[in-house]
């Protein structure tokens, strides 16, 4: 009876364990690639949100001043005021550039390094451009626009 019990107790063989480890490794590699892609998309979405929020701030400033030159965040007499946005020209920041009396351009750089731009002219029509589609799988950027 004892020999019968011992022969029924079996474990996994080394090749079976190796196959399971290889499968787990492949699944982990796929998950890592998907996670990295989603992380970049999230960073790009944050940059687009910051750009849109700064456009609202600049438009609001324009209502008070009557021109965009006083609403670019530069100079001692600037009327843009304090925003909760990360103002600057580095990664993860947003800035206003190229301001004239009736035009401006807001550029946001995601922490992934992708640029998202909103240009607004005298007709208040906005043009959204980006470079994320040229670098990665898009990040919400399709053919240079978003």
Q: List the helix and strand counts (H, then E) for the chain.
A: 3, 4
Total number of domains constituting the chain = 1
Domain that holds residue 33: 12-135
47 or 11, higher pLDDT: 47
The answer to whether residue 112 scores a pLDDT higher than 70 is yes
Mean pLDDT calculated for residue range 114-140: 81
Residue 48 is predicted with a pLDDT of 95
Q: Residue 21's domain is classified under what CATH number?
A: 3.30.700
Mean pLDDT calculated for residue range 34-62: 91
In a domain, residue 144? The reply is: no
Nearest to 51 by CA among 116, 133, 145: 116
In a domain, residue 4? The reply is: no
In a domain, residue 52? The reply is: yes
In a domain, residue 5? The reply is: no
In a domain, residue 1? The reply is: no
Residue 101 is predicted with a pLDDT of 86
In a domain, residue 146? The reply is: no
Residues 6+ away with beta carbon under 8 Å from 47: 92, 94, 108, 109, 110, 111, 114, 116
Q: Are 57 and 50 in contact (CB under 8 A)?
A: no
In a domain, residue 50? The reply is: yes
Given the DSSP bridges, would you call strands 115-120 and 104-109 parallel, antiparallel or unpaired?
Answer: antiparallel
The answer to whether residue 139 scores a pLDDT higher than 90 is no
Mean pLDDT calculated for residue range 11-26: 95
71 or 6, higher pLDDT: 71
Between the alpha carbon of residue 43 and those of residues 2, 111, 112, the distances in Å are 64, 6, 6
Mean pLDDT calculated for residue range 56-81: 84
In a domain, residue 47? The reply is: yes
């Amino acid at each position: 009876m004892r020999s019968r019990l011992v022969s029924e107790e079996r474990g996994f063989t080394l090749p079976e364990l190796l196959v399971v480890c290889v499968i787990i490794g492949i699944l982990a590699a796929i998950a890592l690639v998907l996670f990295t892609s989603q992380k970049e998309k999230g960073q790009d979405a944050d940059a687009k949100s910051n750009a849109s929020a700064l456009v609202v701030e600049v438009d609001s400033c324009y209502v008070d001043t009557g021109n965009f030159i006083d609403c670019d965040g530069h100079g001692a007499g600037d009327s843009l005021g304090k925003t909760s946005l990360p103002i600057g020209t580095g990664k993860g920041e947003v800035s206003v550039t190229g301001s004239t009396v009736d035009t401006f351009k807001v550029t946001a750089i995601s922490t992934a390094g992708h640029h998202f731009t909103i240009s607004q002219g005298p007709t208040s029509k906005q043009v959204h451009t980006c470079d994320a589609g040229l670098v990665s799988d898009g990040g919400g950027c399709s053919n240079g626009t978003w």
